Amino acid sequence: MEFWQFMFVPTILFMVIVAPVWISMHYRSVNRSAKGLSAEDRETVEQMLETVDKLTDRIETLERLLDADHGGWRQPSGQEQHREVNS
């Protein structure tokens, strides 16, 4: 019984002081991390968007070149067209 009497006061102090502070600090840090992207993440996203823009420009250029050289490249060939109709 002496052990329980000894642990009573520290347990009450933990539940009244430490636990609420700990829980509030935990959720405060969770809210801060969930608010937005870090500076490094934003920079990475911007680099990805620049890469996407460059790739889009390249695709458009390739399509223009193919349209100029091979006008019907977008249409499937006769055999492929025949398969699509039968499907």
Q: Could you report the per-residue pLDDT of 73-87, keeping only the tens digit for each? A: 888 766 555 555 555
Q: Could you report the per-residue pLDDT of 6-62, keeping only the tens digit for each? A: 889 889 989 999 999 999 999 998 887 777 777 888 899 999 999 999 999 999 999
Residue-range domain boundaries for the chain = 1-35, 37-73
Burial 25-57 (b: 16+ CB within 10 A, else e): eeeeeeeeeeeeeeeeeeeeeeeeeeeeeeeee
